[in-house]
Amino acid sequence: MTHLRLDLQYFAGEKTEKATPQKRLESRKKGEVAKSQEVPSAFILFGSALALYLLGGWYLERILALFQFVYQDLLLTTITIQNLPELVNQLLIEMVILATPLFVIAIIFGIGGTFVQIGFLFAPEAVFAKLSRINPISGAKRIFSLRALVELVKSILKVVVIATAAGIILWTNRDTLMGLSHLPIRQSTAAIGQMTFQLFVTVAIILVVLAVADYMYQKYEFEKQIRMSKQDLKDEFKKTEGDPLIKSKVKEKQRQMSLNRMIQDLPRADVLITNPTHFAVALAYDDKTMEAPTVIAMGMDFQALKLREKAKEFRVTIVENKPLARALYDQTDIGDPVPEELFGAVAEILAYVYRINGRLKGGN
């Protein structure tokens, strides 16, 4: 029996259940989401290729101007201490102008590559330092884990595939490369730009394929990481819905308080209509202050039984009428007047009660 209990506890602690929406939301708030670093890389390369395609003519003119500045203006200019800072600044400005479009596009497409995976996410908790990240034991486990091995294989595969693709492109254009030295500067620069564009597009396509595969793997790992045990599901239910034991105690307390209030008002009742044990409804009527008989107490099962006991103690007349008791219980709440369609039945009972009590309600 002890072994069986331990086995059940073991299986209850296994992460075998899919994560609930609440668990996913909590993980997202911590910055824990399924994402691949290869997707932004593929986006950045595609953006760079697009920039080269759209701005190829502009880049050609800027690069030719830079060559002219370096190989003509600088060589023909006498460099002195006075003009050296100006020449260096001019050279840096030209290089910044060339790099700025690619830099801006890389940022935009890099953000876009992350956004398509996880959407907008603001997770301050992910920024805070965690001591577990600098724990040498945990670090060693991460280094020698299956995930680290997969990352290593993925990196090697990426380098091999991209290097192979670059080699094929260069080999295909070997005649052009060998003849660059015999071409004018404009034509050689254009040829290099065309090969660069071809390389960017090829590598970007390869990275997209790798990114899709890596994202699927990262999503699988993430789903496995956030799995929940049966005990986790129970704990989450208690956290969101409240502990069933506490809820039952609260409801019991509320029922007791409600019953106490009804018992306090019961002496004012003229009659208690019962079913006879399942339902009990107490009515009071004062023609000076009420337009119709009013429900001042009602209960079902245990509460109905308590109302019957207290009605006997307070000498309140008890009348058994199953359909009327059920109808009053279903159609009214405490403080409500009797529904118009039940006036006749209630009036007959009140008349009977007044007659046996030897008085007329509201009379002298």
Helix, strand, coil shares of the chain, percent, nearest 5, are: 70, 5, 20
The 3-state secondary structure of 267-308, one letter per residue: HHCCEEEECCCCEEEEEECCCCCCCCCEEEEEEECHHHHHHH
Residue 122's pLDDT band (cuts 50, 70, 90): low
The confidence score (pLDDT) of residue 64 equals 75
The confidence score (pLDDT) of residue 11 equals 47
Mapped onto helix, strand or coil, the DSSP state of residue 361 is: coil
pLDDT tens digit string along 191-225? Answer: 877 888 888 788 888 888 888 888 888 888 888 88
Residue 364's pLDDT band (cuts 50, 70, 90): very low
Checking phi first, is residue 360 left (phi over 0); if not, alpha (psi -120 to 50) or beta? beta
273: which strand partners?
281, 319
Highest mean pLDDT among 4-8, 102-106, 247-251: 102-106
pLDDT tens digit string along 220-274? Answer: 888 888 888 888 777 777 676 655 666 667 667 767 787 788 888 888 888 999 9
Residue 304 has pLDDT above 50, yes or no: yes
Identify the H or E element spanning 318.
Answer: strand 317-320
Residue 291's pLDDT band (cuts 50, 70, 90): confident
Mapped onto helix, strand or coil, the DSSP state of residue 319 is: strand
Reference 343, options 271, 292, 270; nearest CA is: 292
**CA–CA distance from 91 to each of 95, 96, 142 (Å)?**
6, 9, 46
The confidence score (pLDDT) of residue 136 equals 57
Residue 4's pLDDT band (cuts 50, 70, 90): very low
Q: Which range (62-76, 158-172, 257-271) has the least confidence?
A: 62-76
Of 312 and 141, the one with more pLDDT: 312
In this prediction the pTM is: 0.49
Per DSSP bridges, beta strands 271-274 and 294-300 are unpaired
Q: How many CB atoms lie within 10 A of CB 269?
A: 24
User: What's the average model confidence in pLDDT over 337-354?
Assistant: 88
Residue 10's pLDDT band (cuts 50, 70, 90): very low
The confidence score (pLDDT) of residue 144 equals 57
User: What's the average model confidence in pLDDT over 308-334?
Assistant: 88
Residue 149 has pLDDT above 60, yes or no: yes
Residue 7: CA count within 13 A, CB half-sphere? 4
The confidence score (pLDDT) of residue 360 equals 46
User: What's the average model confidence in pLDDT over 60-81?
Assistant: 69
Q: How many CB atoms lie within 10 A of CB 256?
A: 11
**CA–CA distance from 352 to each of 174, 275, 357, 358 (Å)?**
115, 18, 9, 10
Of 180 and 216, the one with more pLDDT: 216
d(CA 336, CA 284): 11
> Prior bond to 276 cis, omega within 30?
yes
Of 97 and 4, the one with more pLDDT: 97
Of 339 and 32, the one with more pLDDT: 339
The 3-state secondary structure of 28-52, one letter per residue: HHCCCCCCCCHHHHHHHHHHHHHHH
Q: What domains are there in the chain, each with its CATH number?
A: 18-238 (no CATH), 257-356 (3.40.1690.10)
Q: Cα 211 vs. chain centroid, distance in angstroms?
A: 24
Residue 132's pLDDT band (cuts 50, 70, 90): low
Q: What is the DSSP letter of 338?
A: P
